[in-house]
A and B are shown apart, each in its own frame.
Chain A
Amino acid sequence: MNFKESIRLGLITSGILIFLDLIGLPLTSGSAIVFIFTIVVGLLSFLMLRNRNGERSTLLNASISGSIIGAISSIGIVTITTIFARLQADGIRVNKVFAQILPEHTGALTGLTKVEVLSGASIWPGILKLCILFIVAGTIGGGLTALQSDKTSSRTKQFSSSPYGRYALLVLPFLLFGSFMLLKVEGVQIGGEDENTLGLLLVFLFISTALFAFRGARPGNERKLISIAIVFLILVLPQLTDLFQNAVLSAVIIFVVMGLGLNIVVGYAGLLDLGYVAFFGIGAYTFGLLSAPESFVLVNLPAFGGVTFWSGLPIAILAGVITGVLLGIPVLRMRGDYLAIVTLGFGEIIRLLLLNLRDFTGGPGGVLNIPAPIVFGVDLGNPKGIFYLGMLFSGIVAFITIRLRDSRLGRSWIALREDEDVARAMGINLVAIKLLAFATGAAFAAAAGALYASRQVNIFPDNFTLLVSIDVLSLIIIGGLGSIEGVVLGSIALIGLPEILRSVNEYRILTFGALLVVMMILRPEGLLPSARRQRELRGEAIAESGIASE
Chain B
Amino acid sequence: MTPFFEIRDLVKRFGGLGAVNNFDFQCEEGSIVSIIGPNGAGKTTVFNCITGFYKIDGGEIHFRGDLINDRSPDRITRSGIARTYQNIRLFSNMTGVENILVGMEPHLRSTFFGSMIRSKFTRDEERLAHAEAVHLLEFVGISPEADDLAKNFSYGDQRRLEIARALASKPELLLLDEPTAGMNITESVETMHFIQQLRNELGITIILIEHDMRVVMGISERITVLDYGQKIAEGTPEDIQNNPRVIEAYLGRGAASGITTYAST
A residues lining the B interface (CB < 8 Å): 400, 403-404, 407-409, 411-412, 414-415, 418-419, 421-430, 436, 532, 535-536, 539, 542-543
> A409, A411, A421, A423: which contacts B98 (Cβ < 8 A)?
A411
> A404, A408, A422, A539: which contacts B126 (Cβ < 8 A)?
A408
| A329 CB, nearest partner CB in chain B, Å | 16
Contact partners of B122 in chain A: CB under 8 A: 407
Given that A411-B98, A428-B102, A539-B149 are contacting pairs, would A419 and B89 also be in contact in the complex, using a CB cutoff of 8 Å?
Answer: yes
Q: What are the 8 tightest A-B residue pairs by CB atom distance, in nearest-first order?
A: A407-B115, A427-B106, A427-B77, A418-B91, A415-B102, A427-B105, A424-B73, A422-B89
User: A426 near B94 (CB under 8 angstroms)?
Assistant: no
In the assembled complex, the Cα of A64 lies from the Cα of B112 at a distance in Å of: 62
Check: B118 CB closer than 8 A to any chain A CB: yes
User: A532 near B105 (CB under 8 angstroms)?
Assistant: no
Report the nearest B residue to A439, measured CB to CB: B112
User: B149 near A426 (CB under 8 angstroms)?
Assistant: no
Residues of B139-193 contacting chain A, CB below 8 A: 149, 151-152, 165, 169
Given that A403-B115, A408-B110, A542-B152 are contacting pairs, would A423 and B102 also be in contact in the complex, using a CB cutoff of 8 Å?
Answer: yes
Given that A407-B110, A415-B94 are contacting pairs, would A426 and B77 also be in contact in the complex, using a CB cutoff of 8 Å?
Answer: yes
Given that A422-B85, A426-B105, A539-B152 are contacting pairs, would A400 and B116 also be in contact in the complex, using a CB cutoff of 8 Å?
Answer: yes
Question: Can you show 13 pairs from A to B with CB atoms below 8 A apart?
Answer: A404-B112, A408-B101, A408-B108, A411-B102, A412-B105, A415-B91, A418-B94, A421-B89, A424-B73, A426-B77, A427-B78, A536-B93, A536-B149
In the assembled complex, the Cα of A233 lies from the Cα of B77 at a distance in Å of: 51
> A419, A429, A539: which contacts B151 (Cβ < 8 A)?
A539
In the assembled complex, the Cα of A409 lies from the Cα of B110 at a distance in Å of: 9
Residues of B206-255 contacting chain A, CB below 8 A: none
In the assembled complex, the Cα of A422 lies from the Cα of B83 at a distance in Å of: 10
In the assembled complex, the Cα of A436 lies from the Cα of B112 at a distance in Å of: 9
Given that A403-B118, A427-B78, A427-B169 are contacting pairs, would A411 and B101 also be in contact in the complex, using a CB cutoff of 8 Å?
Answer: yes
Contact partners of B72 in chain A: CB under 8 A: 424
Which one of A425, A429, A436 has the highest number of Cβ atoms from chain B below 10 Å of its Cβ? A425
User: B152 near A426 (CB under 8 angstroms)?
Assistant: no
User: A428 near B115 (CB under 8 angstroms)?
Assistant: no
Report the nearest A residue to B117, measured CB to CB: A403
Check: B51 CB closer than 8 A to any chain A CB: yes
Residues of B44-61 contacting chain A, CB below 8 A: 51, 53
User: B115 near A409 (CB under 8 angstroms)?
Assistant: yes
In the assembled complex, the Cα of A123 lies from the Cα of B231 at a distance in Å of: 91
User: A418 near B116 (CB under 8 angstroms)?
Assistant: no
| A30 CB, nearest partner CB in chain B, Å | 49
| B242 CB, nearest partner CB in chain A, Å | 37
User: A428 near B105 (CB under 8 angstroms)?
Assistant: yes
Report the nearest A residue to B98, measured CB to CB: A411
| B112 CB, nearest partner CB in chain A, Å | 6
| A64 CB, nearest partner CB in chain B, Å | 42
| B73 CB, nearest partner CB in chain A, Å | 5
User: A403 near B91 (CB under 8 angstroms)?
Assistant: no
Residues of B83-98 contacting chain A, CB below 8 A: 83, 85, 89, 91-94, 98
Check: B74 CB closer than 8 A to any chain A CB: yes
Check: B103 CB closer than 8 A to any chain A CB: yes
Given that A400-B116, A419-B91 are contacting pairs, would A425 and B73 also be in contact in the complex, using a CB cutoff of 8 Å?
Answer: yes
User: A425 near B53 (CB under 8 angstroms)?
Assistant: yes
| B243 CB, nearest partner CB in chain A, Å | 33
| B132 CB, nearest partner CB in chain A, Å | 14
User: A404 near B77 (CB under 8 angstroms)?
Assistant: no
Report the nearest A residue to B162, measured CB to CB: A422
Contact partners of B108 in chain A: CB under 8 A: 408
Report the nearest A residue to B149, measured CB to CB: A539
Contact partners of B101 in chain A: CB under 8 A: 408, 411
- Contacts A418-B91, A425-B83 known; 11 new A-B pairs at CB < 8 A: A403-B115, A407-B126, A411-B102, A412-B105, A418-B92, A418-B94, A422-B85, A424-B73, A427-B78, A427-B106, A428-B105
Report the nearest B residue to A405, measured CB to CB: B115
| A332 CB, nearest partner CB in chain B, Å | 12
User: B53 near A412 (CB under 8 angstroms)?
Assistant: no
Contact partners of A407 in chain B: CB under 8 A: 110, 115, 122, 126
User: B110 near A426 (CB under 8 angstroms)?
Assistant: no
| A452 CB, nearest partner CB in chain B, Å | 24
Contact partners of B165 in chain A: CB under 8 A: 426
Contact partners of B117 in chain A: CB under 8 A: 403
Report the nearest A residue to B89, measured CB to CB: A422
Contact partners of B115 in chain A: CB under 8 A: 403-404, 407-409
Given that A418-B91, A418-B94 are contacting pairs, would A427 and B74 also be in contact in the complex, using a CB cutoff of 8 Å?
Answer: yes
Given that A426-B169, A427-B169, A539-B149 are contacting pairs, would A532 and B93 also be in contact in the complex, using a CB cutoff of 8 Å?
Answer: yes
| A325 CB, nearest partner CB in chain B, Å | 13
In the assembled complex, the Cα of A414 lies from the Cα of B95 at a distance in Å of: 11
In the assembled complex, the Cα of A427 lies from the Cα of B126 at a distance in Å of: 17
Report the nearest A residue to B114, measured CB to CB: A407
| B84 CB, nearest partner CB in chain A, Å | 10
| B169 CB, nearest partner CB in chain A, Å | 6
Contact partners of A427 in chain B: CB under 8 A: 74, 77-78, 105-106, 169
Given that A408-B105, A424-B74 are contacting pairs, would A418 and B112 also be in contact in the complex, using a CB cutoff of 8 Å?
Answer: no
Contact partners of A539 in chain B: CB under 8 A: 93, 149, 151-152
Given that A407-B122, A408-B110 are contacting pairs, would A414 and B91 also be in contact in the complex, using a CB cutoff of 8 Å?
Answer: yes
Contact partners of B169 in chain A: CB under 8 A: 426-427
Contact partners of B92 in chain A: CB under 8 A: 418
| B82 CB, nearest partner CB in chain A, Å | 8
B 25-47 to A, binary, CB cutoff 8 A, 1 in contact else 0: 00000000000000000000000
Report the nearest B residue to A421, measured CB to CB: B53
Report the nearest A residue to B51, measured CB to CB: A425
| B148 CB, nearest partner CB in chain A, Å | 8
Given that A408-B105, A419-B91 are contacting pairs, would A403 and B53 also be in contact in the complex, using a CB cutoff of 8 Å?
Answer: no
Contact partners of A423 in chain B: CB under 8 A: 91, 102
User: A425 near B102 (CB under 8 angstroms)?
Assistant: no
Report the nearest A residue to B72, measured CB to CB: A424
Contact partners of B103 in chain A: CB under 8 A: 426
In the assembled complex, the Cα of A429 lies from the Cα of B106 at a distance in Å of: 9
Contact partners of A436 in chain B: CB under 8 A: 112
Contact partners of A542 in chain B: CB under 8 A: 152
User: A414 near B94 (CB under 8 angstroms)?
Assistant: yes
| A529 CB, nearest partner CB in chain B, Å | 12
| B44 CB, nearest partner CB in chain A, Å | 13
User: B152 near A422 (CB under 8 angstroms)?
Assistant: no
Contact partners of A418 in chain B: CB under 8 A: 91-94
In the assembled complex, the Cα of A403 lies from the Cα of B116 at a distance in Å of: 5
Report the nearest A residue to B108, measured CB to CB: A408
Report the nearest B residue to A536, measured CB to CB: B93
User: B112 near A425 (CB under 8 angstroms)?
Assistant: no
